[in-house]
Amino acid sequence: MILATAATWAICAVATAAVIARPFRWPEAIWAVAGAAALLLFGLLPLPLAAGAVAKGLDVYLFLIGMMLLSEVARAEGLFDWVAATAVIHAGGSTARLFALVYAAGVVTTTFLSNDATAVVLTPAVCAAAKKAKADPLPLLFACALIANAASFVLPISNPANLVLYGGGMPPLGQWFASFALPSVAAIAVTFLALRRVERDRLAGVCSSDVERPALTLGGKAALVGIVATAGVLLLVSALDVQLGAPTAVAGIVTTLAVCAIARSSPMPLLRDVSWSVLPLVAGLFVLVEALDRTGVIGHVAAAIRAASVDPAWAAALSGTILAVASNLMNNLPAGLIASTAIAQAHPPRLVVDALLIGVDLGPNLSITGSLATILWLQAIRREGENVGFWRFLKVGAIVMPMALAAALGLRIAIG
């Protein structure tokens, strides 16, 4: 038993490290799936349990499918180019103003469409804006990556991890705002100021504002309507405590078919360009978490949370910080799943649960593979010819994330 537990831990650790390091520059999905396959091959996880773990991610898969379809159809119909030109024109030649506009757009996109939407939908538009403005793209791209996590607890729908962590116990919107309104404002403001400071040299210059804004086609307008309608649908189903996956997938499919009908084009080219590899990546991570659960690690986590909760304020500060760091060691999706299961066993005070949510949402701003949204962001910028390595991201995240986390956790604890 001890040997099997050690082997399970070793395989999960190696698979997670490979997802982070990307040996041979192979996609992250290959390493997550390889880790899951190794668990099955060595008999450390029965096939029925692995299949059940994959099935647990159905809502996440559907959510991602919908968002990726919306992004791809918007890109194909020129919506991103139109948005980019609009932002460049309003920046008036100021790189700093363009940075602020991008950040504000990220806040809105994350709040009403989720952090994954900011990574998938907004990032390509920002890449286009940087090219049109002849500006250094990195500060603008970092704005997309960091705001995707910093604004991800403004609303329950701002991050699918919120729904995972609370499960069936999602608080009403009034209680949500009472708990997270001030911490969200703090996280957004501190992240902006810290990132602005870190990238001050790159933002000091001027950029081009003399760009031609292309006319938005009928298909582009339809894509925009589809994205706005999706935001409305997500708000509605969240208020009704309905899972987001199926409505998002339906919205993405309907928008894609409608736009293709208007443009009289086949949807097949769009489907070929979608980054489908993210789906097996998520499935592999779910299997790794299931294997860890069998080793009893989640029971130990639950016991630790229960013991620390004698002092809720101390437990909130400690558990939120630990989960923030852990999210970067194993990605916040499996970290959130582990935390959710531990919460169900430990039944800690609401303050501790809220602190765990802040940690799992905001902590991933430390490293490049801390969250699924950042991995999606990486895939988006690679398609545009850009790339950010692990150390380059860490140099920024090590400054920005701890400051924002301390501000958000401090305010949540002060609220009580």
DSSP string, 324-377: HHHHHHH-HHHHHHHHHHHHHHH---HHHHHHHHHHHHHGGGGSTTSSHHHHHH
- The Cα 348–Cα 305 span in angstroms is 7
At 323 the pLDDT is 92
Average pLDDT over residues 356-368: 93
| Dihedral sign, Cα of residue 141, residue 142, residue 143, residue 149 | positive
Tell me if 405 sits within 8 A of 362, measured CB to CB: yes
At 167 the pLDDT is 58
At 168 the pLDDT is 52
Residue 68 has pLDDT above 60, yes or no: yes
Residue 36 has pLDDT above 80, yes or no: yes
At 289 the pLDDT is 81
Residue 29 has pLDDT above 80, yes or no: yes
Residue 145 has pLDDT above 60, yes or no: yes
- The Cα 79–Cα 258 span in angstroms is 15
Average pLDDT over residues 225-249: 83
Average pLDDT over residues 178-207: 92
Residue 191 has pLDDT above 90, yes or no: yes
At 152 the pLDDT is 92
**What would the two tokens of residue 7 be?**
């082997």
pLDDT band, residue 361 (cuts 50/70/90): very high
What are the residues whose beta carbons fall under 8 Å from the beta carbon of 307, sequence distance 6 or more?
none
Average pLDDT over residues 256-272: 88
pTM: 0.82
At 169 the pLDDT is 59
Residue 411 has pLDDT above 60, yes or no: yes
Specify burial of residue 14 (Cβ count, 10 A radius: 0-12, 13-18, 19+).
middle
The rounded mean pLDDT for the chain is 86
101: how many CB neighbours lie within 10 A of its CB?
20
The domain segmentation of the chain, as residue ranges, is: 2-415
- The Cα 165–Cα 343 span in angstroms is 8
Average pLDDT over residues 266-289: 85
Percent of the chain with pLDDT over 70: 98
- The Cα 82–Cα 213 span in angstroms is 6
41: how many CB neighbours lie within 10 A of its CB?
11
Average pLDDT over residues 28-34: 88
Average pLDDT over residues 302-310: 88
At 170 the pLDDT is 64
416: how many CB neighbours lie within 10 A of its CB?
9
At 129 the pLDDT is 82
Residue 328 has pLDDT above 90, yes or no: no
Average pLDDT over residues 323-351: 85
At 263 the pLDDT is 83
3-state DSSP assignment of residue 144: helix
